Structure 1
């Protein structure tokens, strides 16, 4: 795997830490800024909204810009947003910086995905995407718990400063590793807007986007409220929350590794298994959240199932529309973040309705079940679109008489 692909994964680690670290920062942010927990949770949804809008818009806007230039510009904008966020005097400014940072991150994700798959041959695209997406998993293993520790001991603003510094360092590494005008490993032409838009006009592609939304939304809703659930329902001391968040990340790291190995050979079966296990694990947590030992077992299972499907949904869209290598991952990024936007909102609504923190896991189970149904639909369509085997042709029989005449 080229070094540049691994460095793209490290860049996603830096920015992905910010995307998910709020799950451990929400209580401190809510207290510091004087907003309810559900209001602080909207910071996660605001970030996702920025990514939904930013991914396709910036993918089109930078279509003819050298990828290295676009990637570094997005990272610098992201870092600047976090500097302003660290200095934010109130909730409104922080909310605005989350949207701006998300737009830049969305642009980075889209161009990074297109860059990674262009650097490897067709049979390695799933593995390349798993390497890039592994940066996001490492963010949950290392970045999110580290951000939570920083928040508990030095304030949530320190975590924002740390993300800004990591992002700048990542931009410098990509500036060194990526050529200004990289060549592709699979002979892709330069991006062209009309060809890219035509490539999006495939119903099976949009079904794949729906699967992305449902499966990732099912995984993120419980994780978004996991810190308060652990302290208020499970009874875990706050000092141990980073360690349990790291368990989720370790499960995710294993899941994305397994998913990366299966993404190229058994994509739909991997999707179905992941969605089914995610549904069961979410339902189990909803019923047993007050049981500490069971919860500690279920948290890494949730991480495993949430990230098992990630390399599949990331790489499968390139196979469904190979002639749109820039817009395909951009819209897929939006699909991810539609799930990240909607399910935490639904989780917040269930909390505000008095159903308690475990209700967010029921939201995850219901969304996972919908993802499993959409995967079954995709499998049915794939079987219908599979070319039929050629008809068997009988070997003509030689008349007995003729054979005898020839011999004579």
Structure 2
């Protein structure tokens, strides 16, 4: 009850000081407001961007390992030009791994190239992403569930390199506006492909990308007829393996892949691997690290404003102590303890700082209401707590010295002070 009474009394003094010197207090709190706004606005933007990007990369799985020439994270052990000399992963290695892997739940081989043009009669669609995938692709990426109309291609069509295609929503909408795409013949690189499926609509992504809406999927063996296993025009083949959830960290699967592929390529025990086994969650880690750097920049930008705001609050509190010295003397003469005086002024500083921080958070919330296309800004509870926490800490730091000065005043001298 005594603590509650103390808080109420301190709040009354703080509110009185705010009303009495509204313009001075507002200008002093402006630094805290701008600082909190800058920091939390950057964090909100970073969190929203990171969430949107990771959502767009939701097909990546922490239980998948990718086999290719290059690692997703370059290390100092091998210079980048040595990676270029490595051989491409090929279909024979995919078949070898599929036959011999014991710890894999699925395996696929695929390649992709962009900027292609697909034609139907007198109509054409440009800037198409062309994927060559194995029939087993659905075991790793569950692409078959994304088929809105038609069917996924069969194992026989995959092995015999049939010219069949699954097309994206936008391609089907442009070339077949009447919705009769299934069974029609497209031309890709001069070759005819029969449409067997139309993919579900994904919509526009954060960077204006359209995902699979502008993609075409054909059997990998059919893709080879155009690009010859990825060795022509720099199209690289990638093998992706899905591990078991019981294999924590995919340690057993990675070791098995490494051993089998070294055997297949005839590498001697002392020779280094001429391939990389990459974890797909490494891409997420790289994205997270990038946004961490942006977050640090946000702290740097907002830190200067908060520093100015802290000096402003400290100035208010020093002035407040000087103006209320007589009142402090009266309070002490009536039995007020040093702790009461200390808490009173410290609470006032924290209260003022929280007002500035609250206004900054309000501005961020208003910013989040603006329409930014596909980017959905969300002021999270965590960022609200962070903003108020930083404001509270600034209040403590700014008010502790004036509060100690007020608490240590001699009551006799203070009561004689006229202001």
TM-score class normalised by the smaller sequence: under 0.3
TM-score, with normalisation over the residues of structure 2?
0.21
Q: Which has the higher strand share?
A: 2
TM-score, with normalisation over the residues of structure 1?
0.21
Rg larger in structure = 2
